[in-house]
Amino acid sequence: MKKFFTLLSVIFIFVFSTQAQNATFNWSLSGGGSQGADRSADVVTDADGNVFTANYFLNTATFNGVTLTGSAKGTGANYDNSLFISKISPSKATLWNLYSNVGVVMPTALATTPGGDLIVTGTIRAVTGGATTNANIIDAAGTITTFTSLSTSSSSVQSFVAKFNSSGIIQWAKEFNSGAAKDKAVTTNALATDANGNVYLTGNYTNTVILPASTPVTLTSTNTTQAAFITKLDATTGDEVWYKISSGSIVSEVLTGLVYGDDGYLYAAGDYKNATTPISVTIGDKSFTPSVGADLTLIKFDTDGVIFYIQERPSVTGTTVRDVRVKDVAVKNGKVFVAGSFYGDFGGIQFSDGALTSSAAYLNGFVAAFNTSDGSDLWQKGVFAPAIAEINGIAIGYDDNLFAFGYHYNKLGTAVAAGDVDFGDDFKLTDATNNLGDLFLSSYNVSTGVTQEVHLVGKGTGSETSNSLTSFGNNLYLLGSSNSNPITFENNTTYTTAGAFDFFLVDYSVSKAPTGINLSETTKLPFSYADNANRQIVVKNAENVKFAKLVDTTGRTISISSNSNDVLNISTQGIAPGVYILQLATSNSQITAQRLIIY
């Protein structure tokens, strides 16, 4: 595992390469309760740097010093999920909370407006086996908004979108339902807001969805599984302004990513999966024909709903027909980035300059960059784990690199043997004990896709899951879930979950990348990482390294190794877990220092 260069003494001369790390772990907050699975959904920031987290919990949960009690247990049933949204200041103080204590309320996405308002969307239903058919949301002042006549079935969830001002006071709340019976599923997936505070929303429905307006708009589809829609809601009223739907009767249509770009356009990304006999799909005045495996789909449109293009990248069939799972989208300086995962089995995603494929039996993470003007391919990058790797959140960092937050399995029981998780460009995470999932943070050069750094964010004996990533100033905020006892974060702090799963928020600070460096001339500089599974430190590109000295944080020398090879392996057998500094002295008298964590 590679870490950032750390200043040890003013006499050191530092040489930075594309593999010098700019992100530094700052702090973590964890929360949940004892009843079971408390999980995270989304994290966003506002223009003042406040952080909003969306989580859900069973019965009671505590987060950042605040304890909330959710819905009562239904007759003969376990507790169902309740909403838990927090606004946290840049100094980590809780400013206010939103929650639910009737029905089942699960957030799916958050967005903020330029004026500091918070937009929330999610699903609602009645408590399993309960006596009520209602669900509610309680704002920061205690005002209750109630949704009525809901089904208790998890297959008949309806959805809502609500606006709260910067003080957490409800401004409006709208329901997206399937009709008077509310017996067909309507779900919402992604949110975005524009410069005027208008709201854009993607979602799915079976047969029918009713959009909120002074005269409600009813949309119907021949797709009885997952028909997709995009709609714009007025900032002041929450009423529908325009909508777009998919016209094809295909297997599934899912738009899970949505962003308002710095160019003033909107970009929706997802995956469309066709029927065995392919059918054309039309959105607005644009049509395309997805393949029988779920295809990466990217749509560009403006605030008036005019669609400029639909770009589709078909899934590559391997041993069997496999799918693509799109999770997030980001835009910066003429480039749009799409991230998620795809199945291996020698399958993958077909791009114009070749296929991104993997022989791994399960999921592989990916990031793909496109030109915003026409949607043409720029570059693609994979995260190849022996068992599973997924990227669930991406954001542009303070250093103008693209950061990706995900989880990985280095092995899977006896079914998949242990091996490295490969991020490309000589960045790997190695851990033969990782059987249930650990967390990673990686970054990529936005122009070339070259991997810049990789962090092992969190590790435990249980399962860690990434959910969302956002950036503000020099901060990166990562939201995820864990059932490890304990989970150990990168700064060696630990947290023991109270129930089956708890949620957490992690903060990294990002420094500006060094300037004036010819990157093409620095790619062969030495770099190192801790291979904790094999109890060693590995130094690569070490042909010019004369010696390496490992010291602890007090400056005490732990070991010194001389070198004459291009790879230097330093044993960590018998060294106590902790943070250490590796000093590398080169033949031209340059000294670098690198911070490593040994487990």
Dump pLDDT digits (tens) for 515-531. Answer: 333 333 334 557 677 77
pTM (whole model) above 0.85: no
Q: Is residue 552 part of a domain?
A: yes
Estimate the share of the chain in helix, then strand, then coil, as percent rounded to the nearest 5.
0, 55, 45
537 in any annotated domain: yes
As a whole number, mean pLDDT of residues 64-71 equals 96
Q: Which of 31-40, 262-271, 389-398, 537-546 has the lowest mean pLDDT?
A: 537-546
What is the rounded distance in angstroms from the CA atom of residue 97 to the CA atom of residue 194?
Answer: 24
Task: Check pLDDT > 50 for residue 292.
Answer: yes
| Together in a domain, 93 and 196 | yes
CA dihedral 455, 460, 466, 469 (to 10 degrees): -40
d(CA 393, CA 399): 17
**pLDDT for position 398:** 93
Check whether 18 has a pLDDT greater than 60. no
Domain encompassing residue 235: 51-245
Whether 3 has a pLDDT exceeding 60, the answer reads no
Do 3 and 59 belong together in one domain? no
Same domain, 112 and 209: yes
Residue 130 CA, chain-centre distance (Å), reads 34
DSSP string, 260-280: E-TTS-EEEEEEEE--SS---
Report the Cα 518 to chain-centroid distance in Å: 32
- Are residues 5 and 154 part of one domain? no
Supply the pLDDT for residue 588: 62
Residues 111-133: what's their mean pLDDT?
A: 94
State mean pLDDT over 543-572: 83
Report whether pLDDT(265) > 50.
Answer: yes
Model confidence at 589, pLDDT cuts 50, 70, 90, reads low
| pLDDT attached to residue 6 | 30
7 and 101 share one domain: no
pLDDT bucket at 17, cuts 50 / 70 / 90: very low
CA 476 from centroid of its chain's CA atoms: 12
Do 11 and 121 sit in the same domain of this protein?
no
Q: In this predicted model, what pLDDT tens digit does every residue of 417-431 receive, in sequence order?
A: 889 999 999 899 988
pLDDT digits (tens, 9 = 90+) for 346-388: 778 999 989 999 888 789 999 999 999 999 999 999 999 999 9
d(CA 125, CA 103): 6
Q: Are residues 109 and 211 in the same domain?
A: yes
Q: Do 85 and 189 fall within a single domain?
A: yes
pLDDT of residue 468: 97
Give the total number of structural domains in the chain. Answer: 2
On whether both 7 and 91 belong to a single domain, the answer is: no
Mean pLDDT of the chain: 88
Q: What is the pLDDT of residue 568?
A: 86
Residues 14 and 88 in one domain: no
Is residue 532 over pLDDT 50?
yes
pLDDT at site 319: 58
In a domain, 540, yes or no: yes
Q: Kindly write down the DSSP assignment for every residue of 209-236, as one continuous string.
A: EEE-SSSPEEEE-S-SS-EEEEEEE-TT
What is the pLDDT at residue 590?
Answer: 61
Asked whether residue 489 is domain-assigned, the answer is: no
Half-sphere exposure of 401 (CA within 13 A, CB side): 28
**The pLDDT of residue 5 is above 80:** no
The residue ranking higher by pLDDT, 367 or 553, is 367
The beta strand positions in 401-552, using DSSP E, are: 402-409, 421-424, 427-429, 438-444, 451-460, 464-472, 475-482, 487-489, 494-495, 502-510, 527-531, 536-540, 545-552
pLDDT tens figures, 219-230: 987 766 778 999
Average pLDDT over residues 54-74: 94
Residue 544 sits in a domain of what CATH number?
2.60.40.3080
548: helix, coil or strand? strand
- CA dihedral for 539, 542, 545, 546, sign (positive or negative): positive
Q: Are residues 189 and 91 in the same domain?
A: yes
Q: Which two tokens stand for residue 432?
A: 């033969």
Mean local confidence (pLDDT), 314-334:
84
User: Same domain for 9 and 131?
Assistant: no
CA-to-CA distance for 73 and 58, rounded, in angstroms?
9
